[in-house]
Chains A and B, each alone.
Chain A
């Protein structure tokens, strides 16, 4: 149990276009999901906390108008990178919080974005 999927696994797009990444918890419901970004040879950086049915909470320095997050159901959160630029190229990873008392996060496999 506790499987989280992401789609797509990789995407290449032109500068100026928007890209949507989906994160799904497949076998449990998640009231809270998280979005991270990871650059090469660096650790994961938390971008935002996504709560079902409410607005996402963004970490300091993350532009909410550029990284649109929607958490419309207990099993799906989406991250849209708007007007992508080459500096947005990165590995985007989501996680879903499983309410088991310890509130453990389970991570998706990641989405690699390359903006040309």
Chain B
């Protein structure tokens, strides 16, 4: 079973920030949180990952709560091309395996 839970869908207006939450309450102390997105009929695209501190790259920002039980992916200025399914993933402890949950289907509206 996936170790994360996400809302099944969200809408966001174009140009606004998209905030995608993820709950990972069973995460262990040394496991990273990874975010990917999948645009229709393509392989998942890596977005960002983090351990404890907040992270930012050219695609997004990742905010991780102090207790590490949840995180939020922020797309600062969503565009129509950001419409995709977003997956928050924590590895199976002691392995390199990812178990995908159902993700959040983000629809960016014009």
Residues of A bordering B, CB below 8 Å: 2, 4, 6, 32, 34, 36, 43-46, 49, 91, 93, 95, 97, 102-110, 112
Contacts and interface: CB of A to CB of B under 8 A. Distances in A.
Interface of B: 32, 34, 36, 38, 41-46, 49, 51, 87, 91, 95-103
B7 to A, nearest CB: 15
Given A102-B49, A104-B34, A107-B36, A46 B43 contact: no
Complex A-B, nearest 4 residue pairs according to Cβ-Cβ distance, in ascending order: A107-B43, A44-B100, A43-B100, A107-B44
| Interface SS of A by simple majority | strand
Contacts of A43: 87, 100-103
B36 A103 contact: no
Contacts of A103: 91, 96
Contact of B97 (A2, A46, A112): A46
A45 B41 contact: no
A112 B97 CA distance: 23
A95 B45 CA distance: 11
